[in-house]
Amino acid sequence: MDQQTDPVLIVGSGRSGTTFLAKLLDSHTRVLYRHEPDWARVDTSLPFLPPPGAREKFSRQAGEYLRELAQVRAPKVTGKEPRFRKSYRSGPREVAYRLNVAAARTLAKLGCARKRDVVWDMIGNASRGDVVTVIKSVNSVARAPLFVDALPGIRLVHLIRHPAGVVASRMRGVELGLMGTEVYIDALFDSGYADGWKLKREEVKAWPIEKQMAFEWMAVNEAVYRSLEGHDAYLCVTHDALSRSTEEETRKVFAHVGLDWSEQTDRFIRSLRTGASQSGYFGVQRAPRTEIGKWRKELTTGQIDRIHEVVERSMIGEKLWQA
């Protein structure tokens, strides 16, 4: 991949719908999508929770790291379904690409190439300048201000889901054996993300799991939102708005990142509206409106009240709760 323009970055807490948003972008014919490349290429020297006031210290490193992530071609990073036709690949190149992805995924299942760059993008030489690289991450959400400082041309989309929706989805994943219960309370306090909330570490660690998850959601997303609100590179989108008005919100995101409307995107959205296709826990092919407020049926009244008790302290938490 030779294109040198700064990438588009989608960030959000895990279980916020970031893959759904990323696939809406990926449905555009010009987009080259990288799915969570920081899973395959890890830089532990760049803090996952950069301490407040450390943006200048880590800015250059963050920019170099994000450019490196744009080059990752591991099977999981490049082969996330559903896959879409691209204007930068001819018919033969598209066939070769899909065969390459299938072979790479087979190798990954055999444990031979899970994190290796074994997928080729198959971009035609004449189309390289027209490609828009989109990177999606849940691990690097707190690094977002560093990336914005480092790359002047970056466009960042921050997806925020109702905290009860995030907690309900995480707990469902735990019940299904697909997610763990670890919450990084110590890391939040050690990095300064708990400062200002007037809470003690041991008090938070003694909370029920739903309150701890809500605190983690609040501390990270509030820090990113307050750091970047009003910045030209930053767009905040809510999961409820994206689910309720998918085309309208997607058009806003496309405008923010410099993409025109795509007929392929339009067809993808219409296919979701039918509700005919369903997908599993990590999938995106489901009717978006069915996701709105689903947490009300999955959580008890006591759990909902405890989550609200935490997030009502924050600007974004109270806004989402009122909405």
Identify the band that residue 287 occupies on the pLDDT scale cut at 50, 70 and 90. confident
Question: Nearest-CA neighbor of 165 among 5, 307, 11, 21?
Answer: 307
b/e 307-322 (16+ beta carbons within 10 angstroms → b): beebbeebebbeebbe
Task: List, for residues 34-47, the tens digit of each pLDDT value.
Answer: 999 999 999 999 99
Q: In angstroms, how far is the first alpha carbon of the chain from the final one?
A: 42
Q: Which two tokens stand for residue 79?
A: 């082969």
The answer to whether 235 and 11 have CB atoms below 8 angstroms apart is no
Q: Given the structure tokens 């296709």, which residue do they identify?
A: 277
Q: Please give the model's pTM, rounded to 2 decimal places.
A: 0.95
Q: 198: burial class by Cβ within 10 Å (0-12, 13-18, 19+)?
A: exposed
For residue 45, give every residue at least 6 positions away whose Cβ sits within 8 Å of its Cβ, in sequence order, or none. 61
Task: List, for residues 55-71, the tens digit of each pLDDT value.
Answer: 999 999 999 999 999 99
For residue 37, give every residue at least 6 positions away whose Cβ sits within 8 Å of its Cβ, in sequence order, or none. 69, 70, 72, 74, 77, 135, 137
Would you state the pLDDT for residue 278?
57
How many Cβ atoms sit within 10 Å of the Cβ of residue 224? 24
Q: Which two tokens stand for residue 10?
A: 């989608």
- Is the confidence at residue 263, as pLDDT, over 70? yes
Angle between helices 209-228 and 301-311 (to 10 degrees): 30
Decide which of 276 and 146 is more confident. Answer: 146
For residue 157, give the H/E element and its range: strand 155-160
- Is the confidence at residue 1, as pLDDT, over 70? no
Would you state the pLDDT for residue 275?
58
Task: List, for residues 10-27, the tens digit of each pLDDT value.
Answer: 999 999 999 999 999 999
Identify the band that residue 225 occupies on the pLDDT scale cut at 50, 70 and 90. very high
Task: List, for residues 80-112, the tens digit of each pLDDT value.
Answer: 999 999 999 999 999 999 999 999 999 999 988
- Is the confidence at residue 3, as pLDDT, over 50? no
Strand order in the sheet with 155-160: 31-35, 132-137, 8-11, 155-160, 234-238
Can you tell me the distance from the alpha carbon of 136 to that of 149, in angstroms, rounded to the nearest whole number? 18
Sign of CA dihedral 128, 129, 132, 135: positive
Would you state the pLDDT for residue 121?
96
Can you tell me the distance from the alpha carbon of 191 to that of 50, in angstroms, rounded to the nearest whole number? 7
Decide which of 127 and 120 is more confident. Answer: 120
Residue 236, SS3? strand
- Is the confidence at residue 242, as pLDDT, over 60? yes
Would you state the pLDDT for residue 52?
85
